[in-house]
A = this chain, B = another copy of it.
Amino acid sequence: MSPAKVPAERTATLKDVAEHAGVSPMTVSRALNKPETVSDALRARIDAAIDALGYVQNHVAGALASAGSNVIPVIVPSLSNTVFVEIVAGIQEVAQAAGYQLMLGNTEYDLEREYTAVSTFLGWSPPGMIIAGMRHLDRTRHLLKRWGKPVVETMEFGAQPIDMNVGLSHYKAGEAMAEHLVARGYRQIVFVGCRLDADYRAAQRYKGMDRVLAKHGLARREALSYEEPSNPARGGDALMEVLSMKPKADAIFFANDDLAVGAILRAQREGIAVPKRIAIAGFNGLPFASLVTPALTTIMSPRHEIGRIAAQQLIERISGRTPTKRRVDVSFEMQVREST
């Protein structure tokens, strides 16, 4: 049943190490956690004992005794969207280097599940938490506020964070792209996304766009939202639908680059002139965006950077230092290319 060939000898404890090295358990504990407070001689003996016994520290016991673990929970709405993965990767990079472990929670865009995840994670006595988004159940906000430890909300930049916040304004991103399209002369602009009810950040980009269209007195339309998750093929199909259903449309602002690149690849295959017949714009700044023909106009969001900064801010606070800012607005960058 178990792969062990070796008889399941009781695993060595810190006490065993202490006896083997002829010191007190407390000294071993210190040698492990604050090596500089133990004399070289003892440290050497202890290290030898650890090797001899194959001792591995029991972090569970450590966390209980010291009422705090080095585990940082990270809660995201999805792992199938590269955007969140890149943020997790950024967090991981910084956190692991600082000696923290990441615990991963996936809410599938469900705020109830988010609450459950937060609640469960609190039971691991983490020193802080990172959570995507700023929309949570009241219960969730209260729980985290009452908890009182550092929390970073990521992805979007918004008002009244639970504690800290690192992200960008999706509303402004939508505005920026709309201004660009309007300046380029496009007048019939359609917004296309997937699951805009759940992906409220994409919806915010739509709202930003809508405001700009209104400001310029241009035709405003409902956003086109598909039920399936974003994927490139969907982007291509959406392009064809827009062309046939709304032939007057002269530009599409896609909720993300997966859709937009999919649309460009489809246009190419179908021989549709982009941007002449219809312009295409995206959001995120995927690597493929600059390589397709025509190259995609998009907005680069610094996902990895958001993750890194979030982790840095959190660790800063965990270590008792005051972070530079509570709220960080990482800026996005318009990348105007051939598709508009």
Interface residues of chain A, those whose CB is within 8 Å of chain B, are 1-6, 8, 54, 56-64, 69, 71, 79-80, 82, 85-86, 88-89, 92-93, 96, 101-106, 119-125, 143-151, 162-163, 231-233, 236, 258, 261-262, 265-266, 268-269, 287-288, 290-293, 317, 320, 322
Contact = CB atoms under 8 A, between A and B. Distances in A.
Q: How many copies does the complex hold?
A: 2
A103 B69 CA distance: 13
Contacts of A85: 79, 82, 85
Nearest to A124: B59
A93 B145 CA distance: 29
Given A64-B64, A231-B287, A266-B291, A148 B6 contact: yes
B106 A103 contact: no
A123 B58 contact: yes
Contacts of A268: 268, 293
Contacts of A58: 64, 123, 125
B59 A123 contact: yes
Contacts of A236: 291
Given A60-B63, A124-B60, A145-B5, A71 B293 contact: no
Contact of A104 (B104, B123, B233): B104
Nearest to A289: B232
A106 B101 contact: no
Contacts of A92: 79, 104, 106
A283 B59 CA distance: 40
Contacts of A61: 64
Contacts of A62: 123
A149 B56 CA distance: 15
Contact of A269 (B147, B265, B288, B293): B293
